[in-house]
Copies of this chain bind each other. A is one copy, B any other.
């Protein structure tokens, strides 16, 4: 030091290079503030990762999964350029070389998650009670915080969320007067849509007080309070019977150990000819969520594989009729959210503070990248009791003006085909 030689320089360089290699050598520049830089030239890099201090670099090298989000939130890490593409490259590299990660995540599978009633309420509180105005700044006007459905290249977010709700209603073949139970209804958009567009009578459950109050207010405003009942309670307390059971974006929070319970709830509620739909983030192979997401964004979340989801259906002899994977629709949905979030960043900071804004910024950025690289899937599963023959002949009615085959009863199928 005294003689002008910086003894730490080779160590810092080695750490930066190690970090670059460990993240799969993405086309990015990594800089330590006021010091070394490695990787691509600024003008060729997808993005530049700036690390503010040696401690931050050290943490990042030791535990990147957790520390990327932590340090970004604390402002000790910044990303300039195309952050989505950078994360995408990192995730892709990790996806390719993750047998060690797989081993570790498999060992941890299912351990430590807490989906008791109290914890479920706390988790929802943690995530959704941040204040409705916050979500209004980057969700669509109807406040749907789940994957939208983009039928064409030019569909915008508002339109795509309506298209998603219509898609769900068609899959459920809702008819006027149908009694619907919704488990986990968010701010109530789908429940209100089903009542307004299909004439359904809906009982919608949610453990978040903020959301329930918001939803009830919407029902009043829209003159739908007679037809939609928003109930602040856990899905395990659902009572009554229904012609359709729907749950969009709740299963992620249910936890594998409780799928049997969810199946029992559905079995208790669904009429013999009732239809059901569960829409959930999922996985192509069994894995826990990123530890930082679990710690800061979605405590106790666990997106299932399709195989894991069957623990809801098979014990109760529900027959799965249709599964659709909408993964890339989620990537586009999250991209809309991220752009809106960035456009409204100043107001976001006023509302929730710089730190929380940074948390959400990196979370939304990571979500886009995650769905692009297929770390996550999005499953819509349609089911009915195996004994129900009132099922559609084909799925053409989802895409054309043909009437839903649900109206034709199986004996009709037979009569039609009787003259064999």
Asked whether A372 lies within 8 Å of B400 as measured between CB atoms, the reply is no
Among the 9-residue stretches A119-127, A219-227, A293-301, A409-417, the one with 4 or more Cβ atoms under 8 Å from chain B is A409-417
Interface: A40 (CB within 8 A): no
Q: Give the chain B neighbours of A321 by CB distance below 8 A.
A: 324-325
**A150-B417, A396-B399 given as contacts; is B327 within 8 A of A285 (CB)?**
no
Asked whether B387 lies within 8 Å of A95 as measured between CB atoms, the reply is yes
| Complex: A129 Cα to B413 Cα, angstroms | 33
**A286-B314, A332-B417, A393-B150 given as contacts; is B399 within 8 A of A387 (CB)?**
no
Among the 9-residue stretches A2-10, A72-80, A304-312, the one with 4 or more Cβ atoms under 8 Å from chain B is A304-312
| Chain B residue with the shortest CB-CB distance to A167 | B394
| Interface members, chain A 344-400 (any B CB < 8 Å) | 372-374, 377, 379, 386-389, 391, 393-396, 398-400
| Chain B residue with the shortest CB-CB distance to A319 | B284
Q: Give the chain B neighbours of A323 by CB distance below 8 A.
A: 306, 320, 322-323
Asked whether A372 lies within 8 Å of B399 as measured between CB atoms, the reply is no
Interface: A328 (CB within 8 A): yes
A372 to chain B, nearest CB (A): 7
Interface: A111 (CB within 8 A): no
Using an 8 Å CB-CB cutoff, how does the interface string of A315-335 with B read, 1 for contact, 0 for none?
101111111110111011001
Interface: A100 (CB within 8 A): no
So how many copies of this chain end up in the complex? 2
Q: Give the chain B neighbours of A286 by CB distance below 8 A.
A: 314
Asked whether B319 lies within 8 Å of A314 as measured between CB atoms, the reply is no
A96 to chain B, nearest CB (A): 8
Q: Which of B284, B319, B416 contacts A325 (CB 8 A)?
A: B319
Interface: A59 (CB within 8 A): no
Asked whether A335 lies within 8 Å of B420 as measured between CB atoms, the reply is yes
Q: Which of B153, B314, B322 contacts A284 (CB 8 A)?
A: B314
| Interface members, chain A 257-308 (any B CB < 8 Å) | 284-286, 305-307
| Complex: A394 Cα to B305 Cα, angstroms | 21
**A324-B395, A394-B151 given as contacts; is B311 within 8 A of A307 (CB)?**
yes
Q: Give the chain B neighbours of A387 by CB distance below 8 A.
A: 92, 95, 373-374
Q: Give the chain B neighbours of A336 by CB distance below 8 A.
A: 417, 420
Q: Besides A331-B413, A335-B417, 16 other CB < 8 A contacts?
A: A149-B394, A150-B393, A157-B420, A284-B317, A285-B317, A306-B323, A320-B323, A320-B325, A322-B323, A322-B325, A332-B417, A335-B420, A336-B417, A336-B420, A339-B420, A396-B399
15 residue pairs bridging A and B, Cβ less than 8 Å apart = A95-B386, A284-B318, A284-B319, A307-B314, A319-B325, A319-B327, A320-B325, A325-B391, A329-B393, A331-B413, A332-B413, A332-B417, A372-B410, A394-B399, A399-B400
